């Protein structure tokens, strides 16, 4: 299964990707996570991306396409993947199409998580993640089952993202509207777009995605 999750920051892409990777046994390719790892490791790409990410702007297509091209070559992507945060521009979508075509592959579906912009600020403000395994949580909508303990790995340290502040969020929402939203008609034209209601509770969004994918599998 080759999937793309599409939606603005805070729509729930990472949350739903976590379920999809288990359901289909495919890796989650989160370009945001990859970039944050590069920043933490102090690589050349990390150095170039750091300030751009902190402002909430998009990292260049050239860098992002390079990162994804390399990641797609790993053997664990042979049976599919769920892309979370890529593509974010039409140029990235075209590059992805080319990269897959070179291997005789194509996407199975692009799932749009449709959300109201007003809800995103609250989602992003309450977001935190396990420092050890990266599992995502929310102050109101997704607390760990045992307070202070990660459901997935038992870790007890949690982190908040530096770019989850009001100003960077505003920039990220603008970047989404200007540069990423054009991907909706791009994928609709190709018959790949499946839109689900991202405002529903997490489990209901998951169920809607499952139904959409069962439709495709036939
Ligand atoms: P994205 O990867 O699209 O930026 P996340 O998956 O990180 O979004 O979700 C943003 C925040 O909102 C997280 O704290 C997550 O726990 C929470 N969240 C995700 N989906 C929902 C939902 N359907 N309802 C309420 N909160 C949600
Ligand atoms: P969110 O979960 O809020 O959607 P991500 O974790 O996906 O955010 O991305 C965080 C930041 O990393 C973005 O604001 C951007 O600066 C950079 N980034 C991630 N993926 C891409 C991409 N495909 N193209 C350009 N920049 C990206
Ligand atoms: Zn954890």
Alpha-carbon distances, residue 79 vs 34, 189, 208 (angstroms): 20, 25, 23
Question: Over the stretch 51-88, which tens digit does the pLDDT of each residue have?
Answer: 999 999 999 999 999 999 999 999 999 999 999 999 99
- The answer to whether 73 is a known catalytic residue is no
The yes-or-no verdict on residue 181 having pLDDT over 80 is yes
The answer to whether the beta carbons of residues 124 and 9 sit under 8 Å apart is yes
Structure tokens at 12: 């729930």
What number of other Cβ atoms are within 10 A of residue 191's Cβ? 8
Q: Work out whether strand 136-138 and strand 28-30 pair parallel, antiparallel, or are unpaired.
A: unpaired
Maximum C-alpha span of the chain: 48
Which of 55, 71, 161, 210 does the annotation list as catalytic?
161
Q: Is the Cβ atom of 12 under 6 angstroms away from ligand 2?
A: no
Q: How far is the CA of 187 from the centre of ligand 2 (A)?
A: 19
pLDDT-derived band at 45, boundaries 50, 70, 90: very high
pLDDT digits (tens, 9 = 90+) for 2-37: 999 999 999 999 999 999 999 999 999 999 999 999
**Probe ligand 1: pick from 32, 139, 141, max atoms within 8 Å of CB?**
141
Arithmetic mean of pLDDT, 165-189:
96
| Predicted local confidence at residue 215, as pLDDT | 83
CA distances from 122 to 19, 118, 176 (A): 22, 8, 17
Which residue is catalytic, options 21, 50, 88, 194?
A: 88
- For residue 79 the two structure tokens come to 């049976």
Catalytic residue among 13, 36, 123, 142: 13
Active-site residue 140, yes or no? no
Ligand 2 in reach of 64 Cβ (< 6 A)? yes
In tens, the pLDDT along 137-162 reads 999 999 999 999 999 999 999 999 99
pLDDT at 30: 96
Residue 147 is predicted with a pLDDT of 96
CA dist., res. 45 & res. 5, Å (int): 24
What does DSSP say about strands 127-130 and 136-138: parallel, antiparallel, or unpaired?
Answer: antiparallel
Has 172 been annotated as catalytic?
A: yes
Predicted confidence (pLDDT) per residue in 80-120, tens digit: 999 999 999 999 999 999 999 999 999 999 999 999 998 99
């Amino acid at each position: 299964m080759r999937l793309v999750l599409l939606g603005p920051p805070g729509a729930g892409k990472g949350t739903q990707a976590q379920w999809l990777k288990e359901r289909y046994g495919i890796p989650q390719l989160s370009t945001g996570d990859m970039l944050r790892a590069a920043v933490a490791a102090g690589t050349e790409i990390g150095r170039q991306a750091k300030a751009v990410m902190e402002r909430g702007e998009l990292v260049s297509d050239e860098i992002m396409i390079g990162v994804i091209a390399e990641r797609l070559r790993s053997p664990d992507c042979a049976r599919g993947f769920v892309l979370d945060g890529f593509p974010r521009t039409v140029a990235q979508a075209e590059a992805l199409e080319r990269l897959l075509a070179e291997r005789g592959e194509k996407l199975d579906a692009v799932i749009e998580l449709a959300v109201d912009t007003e809800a995103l600020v609250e989602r992003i403000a309450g977001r935190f993640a396990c420092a050890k395994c990266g599992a995502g949580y929310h102050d109101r909508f997704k607390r760990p089952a045992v307070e202070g303990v990660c459901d997935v790995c038992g870790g007890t340290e949690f982190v908040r993202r530096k770019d989850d502040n009001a100003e960077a969020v505003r920039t990220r929402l603008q970047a989404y509207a200007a540069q990423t939203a054009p991907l909706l008609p791009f994928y609709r034209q190709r018959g790949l777009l499946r839109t689900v209601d991202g405002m529903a509770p997490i489990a209901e969004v998951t169920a809607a995605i499952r139904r959409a994918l069962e439709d495709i599998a036939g």
